[in-house]
Chain A
Amino acid sequence: METLDPTDDQLVDRTKAGDARAFDELVVRFSPRLYGLIYNMTSSHEDTNDLLQEVFAKAYRSIRGFQGKSSFYTWMHTISVNMTINFLKKRNRRKTMSLDDVDNGILNDPDFIAATSNGDPSHSANLVELQKKLNESMMKLSHEHRAVVTMFDIQGMPHLDIAKILKISEGTVRSRLFYAHKQLQNHLQEFIKK
C-alpha cells in the first residue's frame, strides 16, 4: 500500500508536539529551495550555509508562534529573506561567488547557448564570463530589488507569493521588478539577444 508523504502542516503540528524528526523532514524539504534564495542574494556559499543553518534554527525555536495564518512555505521564505537582508546590511564587503558550483547542465541550456553564441566558441570560457557578469549585476541591485529578482526570475515564484513573503503589494513587486530589470539591462547588454 502506498503511503502518502505528510503535508507541511502535519509536520509542523508534529514538531509543535515535540517530534524533532518531523522538523528534520521539513529541513530536508526546504533546504534546497531556501539555499537558492539565500545564495542568489549573498553570492557566497559560505555565508549561505551559515545563514541557512540560522534560518532553520530560528524557525525551530519560534515554530510555536507559527499560527498557520500563512503557509509554512511563505513563513520560511519570510524568515530567510529578512535574515538575509539583515545580514547583508551588516556585511560591508562584497564577496564574489565560487564558480566551481555551476552545474554543467548549463552548457546545454538553449538560453545559455543563445546568450553566448556571438562570442568565443568555447562555452566554458563564456560560462565564466557570463556567470561573473550576472553575479556582478545582481550585486549592484539593492537588497530589496535583489530579493524580488531572485524569487521571480530565478526561482519562478508568482507575484502574489512574493508580495505575501515581503508583506508588500503586488504592485510594489511589479514596480521593483521593472526597475531591477532596467538596471540589469544596462549591465548585461552584451548578452541580450537583439
Chain B
Amino acid sequence: MDNDNISKLLRLKRYEHPPAEYFENFLTEFQLRQRAEVIHRPFFQIAWDRLCHLLAPPNFPRLAMAGSFAVAVIATGSVLTWSDSETQAPLAQKIPQVSSKSSPSVQYVLPAEVVTYASARRSF
C-alpha cells in the first residue's frame, strides 16, 4: 500500500518540465554545437570520417572499418616487403664476389668475340 503511495508521489515529478519553447530551441542549439564541433575537429578526424562514409556501407561499424583498414595496411606492407626480398636475393647470388687480392683459383677467360676480333686483326 505504501509502495503505491510512494509511486503516486513520485509521479508528481512528471510536472517538472521546461516550457515547450525549450524543446523548439534545443534542436537549434544542438545543430549549432555540432557545427562548432566540426569546425574545431582535427583535420585527420574529418578525413577519416569522410573515408569511412565513402568506403563503408551504412551499417558497417566504424570499429570494423578501422580493423579492416589496419589489416589492409599490414597486408600491403607485408606484400611489399616480401616482393623486395624476392627481387633482391637472386641479384645478390648472381654478382660474383671478387676480392682485391689476386686468387690463383680465379681464371679470367676472354669472351669468344674478342678472341675472334683479335685474331682477325692479327690476320690483317
- Residues of A bordering B, CB below 8 Å: 13, 16-18, 24, 27-28, 31-32, 35-36, 39-40, 45, 49, 52-53, 56-57, 60, 62, 64-65, 67, 97, 101-103, 105-106, 109, 111-112, 114-115, 130-131, 134, 138, 149, 153-156, 181, 184-185, 188, 191-193
Inter-chain contacts of B7 with A (CB < 8 A): 153, 181
Given contacts A57-B37, A64-B62, contact A106 B15 (CB under 8 A): yes
B37-90 CB contacts (< 8 Å) to partner A:
37, 52-53, 56, 58-63
Q: List 27 A-B contacts (CB under 8 A).
A: A13-B58, A24-B27, A31-B27, A35-B23, A36-B14, A36-B17, A53-B33, A57-B30, A57-B33, A57-B37, A64-B61, A65-B61, A65-B63, A67-B59, A97-B16, A111-B11, A114-B8, A130-B9, A134-B13, A153-B7, A154-B13, A154-B14, A155-B14, A181-B2, A181-B6, A184-B6, A192-B6
A27, B27: Cβ atoms closer than 8 Å = yes
Return the contact of B18 from the options A27, A101, A112, A138 (Cβ within 8 A): A101
In this complex, the interface size class of chain B, counting residues with CB under 8 Å from chain A, is 35 or more
Interface SS of B by simple majority: helix
Return the contact of A154 from the options B11, B18, B56 (Cβ within 8 A): B11
CA distance A58 to B102 in the complex (A): 76
A133's closest neighbor in chain B, by CB?
A: B9
Given contacts A28-B23, A188-B6, contact A101 B17 (CB under 8 A): yes
- Residues of B bordering A, CB below 8 Å: 2-3, 5-19, 23, 26-27, 29-31, 33-34, 37, 52-53, 56, 58-63
Return the contact of B9 from the options A16, A17, A101, A111 (Cβ within 8 A): A111
A102, B16: Cβ atoms closer than 8 Å = yes
CA distance A70 to B6 in the complex (A): 31
Nearest Cβ distance between residue A35 and chain B, in whole angstroms?
7
B52's closest neighbor in chain A, by CB?
A: A64
Please name the 6 residue pairs, one residue from A and one from B, whose CB atoms are nearest each other, closest first.
Answer: A153-B10, A16-B58, A106-B15, A103-B15, A111-B8, A192-B5
